[in-house]
């Protein structure tokens, strides 16, 4: 096996794993957002006001 064929195999495997992960994530009806309570960030405001759910069209935990 040449280096090029090994590299192409690794790239193909990575692409398949990335595609499978996207399909797995799409099967869920909600997303969990985590953050440190000591470090409030702008996304925390967006989560609490419902902007995330509105923009993404899915339930955010």
- Mind listing the pLDDT tens digit for each residue in 35-60? 676 776 777 788 888 888 888 888 87
Measure the CA–CA gap between 24 and 22, rounded to whole angstroms.
Answer: 5
In this prediction, residue 55 carries a pLDDT of 86
Q: Domain containing 18: what range? A: 3-60
Count helices and strands in the chain by DSSP H and E runs: 3, 2
Looking at the structure of the chain, the number of domains it has is 1
Query: For the ranges 18-22, 28-32, 35-39, 53-57, which has the lowest average pLDDT?
Result: 18-22
Q: Confidence band (pLDDT; 50, 70, 90) for 32?
A: confident
Radius of gyration of the chain (CA): 18
DSSP state of 30: E
pLDDT for 28 = 65
């Amino acid at each position: 096996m040449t280096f090029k064929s090994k590299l192409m195999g690794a790239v193909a495997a990575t692409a398949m794993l990335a595609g499978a992960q996207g399909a797995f994530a799409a099967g869920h009806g909600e997303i969990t957002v985590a953050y440190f309570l000591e470090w409030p960030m702008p996304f925390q405001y967006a989560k609490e006001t419902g902007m995330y759910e509105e923009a993404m069209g899915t339930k955010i935990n």
